[in-house]
Structure 1
Amino acid sequence: MNILVQGAGALGAYFGGRMLEAGLNVSFFVREKRAAQLTKEGLKIISPEGNFARKEVAVYTSPEQVKNIDLVILTVKGYHLDQVIPQVQTIVQQTGAFVLPLLNGVEHLERLQQVIGKEKVIGGFASIIATLNEQGHVEHTSANSAMKFGALDNEQADICEQLEEINSHVKTNLLREENILKHMWKKYIFITSFSGITSAMQLPAGFIASSEASYVVAKKVIFEMNTLAAKEGIALTEYEVESMANRLKGFKKGATSSMHQDMRKGLPIEVEHLHGGALRLATKHDVMVPVIETLYGILKPYENGKPDCL
């Protein structure tokens, strides 16, 4: 299987690197600046799951360059989706590849399906806490990592089976899920709460547990998101919802969300993709989500990076 990872931030570089490490044919589609960095520095992973380095990696910067690809793993941030959709469309038209987007949230599925066809878009998401250092190397700080995926159309069965077979060869978890939409929603619910509260506090996750008031806010986001999930036909048990809420208290003191990491660096954040997406669903179903709306209002000024006045 020939795999193209579109986007080589911490997420794409990590999972793409793990597949390279396992001997798979993996290339990267990136912007010019990142291509130059990868050419100079190579791809390097620093991780509890094992370090890895590869000096030379295959890099594309134009969709017309891409040939003979079976699977595109889309790992860009939500705020880059508009920019990359035409590129994805060209690549799929040229190669017939399936697309596995690892974006947070759920809105991107329909948008991609409208452009390249429902049969081409596989469901999936990733679980990892990682960032890029100044050299563009991946610093993976959580104890483990996982990429979960599953078919949303019968035509995706073969490609999902091939991806599932890779799991035993890589130093990460590539896990196939039968009800991938439910798992995507569980991730969406949790990250909307976790990223929202850490970014609004501008403090790491340990302060969720140490401040009851902050924990209550984060927990209410989970309950509001669960209401939206139910309206979208995703049924979660009371135990599943409470487990997500309890998980908020289980992080190490210094751990934090990727959104909070981006905010501290003055980078754009995915507030529109996560909290904004939740508000659009709330409008669709005529549901009130006051805590999410409040977090959205607090974080919106940071959407495009550090505000000029700071």
Structure 2
Amino acid sequence: MRIAVIGAGGVGGAFGAALAKGGADVTFVARGAHLAAVRANGLRVEGGRGETVVNPASATDDPAGIGPVDFVLFCVKLWDVETAGAAIRPLVGPATAVIPFQNGIDAAERLVPILGAEAVMGGVAQISATIAAPGVIRQTGTFMRLIFGELAGGKSARGEAFLGACQQAGFDATHSDRIMTELWMKFILLATNSAFTAATRQPLGRLRDDPDIADLMLRAAQEVVAVGRARGVALPDDAADRTMGFTRNAPAGMMASMAHDLIRGSRIELPWLSGKVVALGRELEVPTPVHEVLYAVLKPYVDGAPGQSMS
């Protein structure tokens, strides 16, 4: 199975390395110092699951040079979706599946006009990992899971094939017949936890143990649930409670990737997280007061640290 990983950061790097060690033919698309380090020394993933080293690792900054593949794991930041989507057209053959494993809820629908509806599936990545140094991915905790499925619902032969590769790689995976529900379940969690860890610059353990903050986090999760239901998404009755259950049991040191980006002074994905909740809430006439405040507080950092111009 040929797999291209577009964006070899915390998500793409960790899952791509596992798939490569499991026997898949994986090529990583990266750039800058990270690409140079992976080419020179391979890709190393460290953390609670031990160390995984892929050396040599196939890595490039030119997707066109890879040729058509079976699966594309699309893991770029949300502001790069359209640009990266156009760049991967040479990877997409008649049977290729492109699975966006990104934050937010709209990456797949943004890729469809570029790559065609038949090529795009839906995906959810559940992991806490970030680039610790060029060529090195550091994972917090041991939880590592992919959920994927057809946007129209149901299961498919290509989904079963990718499930087999994930099982061979040794991490949890689910071939879902209701991927839109799964996407929104992650969105409830991520929009909430990203905003709170970024706004406070604190890990989940410091937030969930404070009763005032924990109550606000629950209210924020309930806002996202209300927006999703107003949009017609089938969500379980206990969706917000499940979100808080995950937060209560997550590693105390876990911080969302948006918080790490903010602390580094990098661009943040706020417009597609709390910003998306607020925008949909206004469109659907659903109140989102907690996310409105979080969005306003974090908005000055969208393009990087105030006073800096970030690429």
Q: TM-score, normalised by structure 2?
A: 0.92
Q: TM-score, normalised by structure 1?
A: 0.92
Which runs of structure 2 are paired with 1:5-16 in the superposition (5 Å)?
A: 5-16=5-16
5+ long unaligned stretches in structure 2: none
2:257 equivalent to 1:264: no
| Offset from partner CA, 1:221-264 (integer Å, 9 cap, x none) | 11110011102222323323222234333334322222212222
Identity over aligned pairs, percent:
26
2:28 equivalent to 1:25: no
Worse-superposed segment, 176-185 or 145-154: 145-154
Kindly state the Cα deviation for residue 41 of structure 1 after the two structures are TM-superposed: 2.7
Partner of 1:67: 67
8 Å CA contact retained: 1:193, 1:222: yes
Worse-superposed segment, 134-143 or 154-163: 154-163
CA–CA distance in structure 1, aligned partners of residues 290 and 43 of structure 2: 40
| Offset from partner CA, 1:121-144 (integer Å, 9 cap, x none) | 111110101111123301111122
2:275 equivalent to 1:276: yes
CA–CA distance in structure 2, aligned partners of residues 41 and 307 of structure 1: 35
Partner of 1:227: 226
5+ long unaligned stretches in structure 1: none
Which runs of structure 2 are paired with 1:1-310 in the superposition (5 Å)?
A: 1-92=1-92, 97-153=96-152, 157-308=156-307
Worse-superposed segment, 127-136 or 291-300: 127-136
Q: What is the total number of aligned residue pairs between the two structures?
A: 308
* 1:3 partner SS: strand
1:155–1:72 CA distance, 2 compared to 1 (3 A): farther
Kindly state the Cα deviation for residue 19 of structure 1 after the two structures are TM-superposed: 0.6
1:99–1:252 CA distance, 2 compared to 1 (3 A): closer
Worse-superposed segment, 28-37 or 150-159: 150-159
CA–CA distance in structure 1, aligned partners of residues 153 and 246 of structure 2: 34
CA–CA distance in structure 2, aligned partners of residues 144 and 250 of structure 1: 11
CA–CA distance in structure 1, aligned partners of residues 14 and 111 of structure 2: 23
8 Å CA contact retained: 1:120, 1:156: no
* 2:53 partner SS: strand
CA–CA distance in structure 2, aligned partners of residues 86 and 231 of structure 1: 32
